Chains A and B, each alone.
Chain A
């Protein structure tokens, strides 16, 4: 008798589950366009290259850097700790709510579009690198004014050649300098 009652309870809960909608909070969050616009206005939608560098160096808990460029560009040069992901994977994957996501693309436009998609899916801790990889190279790898932070990532002053490098040795600077800003 008890087993039948338990089976009935399980059956009822299962049937209700089929119509209950998604168990993920994010999927049930509506798109608040006004709130998104407010974030854009307050410029809390993006990070600068130096802010991102600080987060990476400080090992900010839950930080996840997602590179939206293609595999070839990613293999050529990548920001430390960045993982490559396609736009279609970005919008279909579920990210833990305690992760801080930073999106990167070549120029920043694709990353900004990815930001909209993820915010529309209810992810709160999402940012994009405002000027894309170009900004990272200009501000961190090849800065006009080096700092301890830029040196941490192997950054060299913008003017002059890097010194103290052996022949054939390739640094972050040379790899990054070889890159040109491409597309979005």
Chain B
């Protein structure tokens, strides 16, 4: 069986079709976040007080669903995995970026996606967070030349968990799913005690 996906790379969608699909998926993503209550900052901040792990559970659900979907669709030759773009890794810059992202998450109670959802539903804190993103992007862009050497440091190219660990792709999938299911159980128990 010849793969039929990714649709754009294999010619099923043209450029316009892929943009329409991207907009539709983006809207669906926003609606799902809002329906899950993730446009409300106190709900997200509750994670840091160990009283509500909705964010963790939503993220892990998304990771597990996507991971199993990608693995099995590729294994059944529906998806050509070599045509799926994988972001490259820069270890130190991404560690620092992750810390900065986490700090912003704690301070605002919102991450980029949920901030957009929050702003779209008319919340002032969401709008302030979105404004903050653009100011931050502008400052980082203006200071980029002085950041460039750090930005380009510790480059590892496309570096996936199976390459890093030396384990097979399927074993990594099993490990991540096991970790996610364990995290679900622990989160539910902590929530029950709160």
The interface residues of chain B lying within 8 Å CB-to-CB of A10 are 64-65, 68, 177, 180-181
The interface residues of chain B lying within 8 Å CB-to-CB of A22 are 75, 168-170
Interface residues of B in 146-194 (CB under 8 A from A): 168-171, 173-174, 176-178, 180-181, 184
How would residues 65 to 80 of chain B score, 1 for a CB under 8 Å from any chain A CB and 0 otherwise? Answer: 1001011101101001
User: Is there contact, CB below 8 Å, between B68 and A13?
Assistant: yes
Q: Which residue of A lies closest to B160 (CB)?
A: A94
A25 vs B184: C-alpha distance in the bound complex, in angstroms?
Answer: 33
Q: Which residue of B lies closest to A22 (CB)?
A: B169
CB of B76 to closest CB in A, whole Å = 9
CB of B71 to closest CB in A, whole Å = 5
Number of interface residues of B (CB under 8 A): 27
Interface residues of A in 1-48 (CB under 8 A from B): 7, 10-11, 13-15, 17-26
A98 on the B face (CB < 8 A)? yes
Q: Which of B68, B75, B180 has the most chain A CB within a 10 Å cutoff?
A: B75
A13 partner, pick from B9, B72, B83, B171, beta carbons under 8 A: B72
Q: Which residue of A lies closest to B10 (CB)?
A: A98
A86 vs B165: C-alpha distance in the bound complex, in angstroms?
Answer: 21
A97 on the B face (CB < 8 A)? yes
A59 vs B13: C-alpha distance in the bound complex, in angstroms?
Answer: 23
A96 on the B face (CB < 8 A)? yes
A95 vs B83: C-alpha distance in the bound complex, in angstroms?
Answer: 8
A-B CB proximity, top 3 nearest: A14-B177, A23-B74, A18-B174
Q: Give 17 new A-B contacts, CB below 8 A, not counting A20-B170, A94-B82.
A: A10-B64, A10-B180, A10-B181, A14-B173, A19-B170, A20-B71, A21-B75, A22-B168, A22-B170, A23-B70, A23-B71, A25-B80, A25-B81, A26-B82, A95-B82, A96-B82, A97-B80
A: residues with CB less than 8 A from B are 7, 10-11, 13-15, 17-26, 94-98
15 A-B residue pairings within 8 Å (CB atoms): A13-B68, A17-B72, A17-B170, A19-B170, A20-B72, A20-B170, A21-B170, A22-B168, A22-B170, A23-B72, A24-B74, A24-B169, A96-B9, A97-B82, A98-B83
